[in-house]
Amino acid sequence: MLWHCKFKWHAHTTVEALRRRILEQDSAGTNQPNRIRGWYDLAGGGAGFMLIETDDPRELTDMLQPYMDLLSWDVHAVVEQPSYEAIVESFREKADS
């Protein structure tokens, strides 16, 4: 399962603190980079989102919890859709029935 994990820095978060935490968690092996399908920062900094793949939501929680004092998380399950053409064709079939 794919998870959209939107993050926003808390007001007290500094870039130095976040960099340090990422390196600490990387050394501890808790970041699980093999599960991160994408990592996107918004222009200007202070926010962004990650796409994380795991079938176990507890594993996702374990990955995000070490950052909760620095970042707020808004997490949603993502359902991949087929191609645009397949979606439109499905809608046509449903409309015809």
Residue % of the chain over a pLDDT of 70: 100
* Global pTM value: 0.86
Give the start-to-end residue ranges of the domains of the chain: 2-96
What are the tokens at 70?
């620095």
pLDDT at 80 over 90: no
Superfamily for 2-96? Dimeric alpha+beta barrel (3.30.70.1060)
**What integer pLDDT is reported at residue 97 of this predicted model?**
86
Q: What is the mean pLDDT of the chain?
A: 96
Which contacts of 53-56 are long-range, i.e. CB under 8 A and separated by 24 or more positions? 53/1, 53/2, 53/3, 54/1, 54/3, 55/1
Residue given tokens 């645009």 in the structure block: 84
Q: What would the pLDDT profile of 11-31 be if each residue is shown by its tens digit?
A: 999 999 999 999 999 999 999
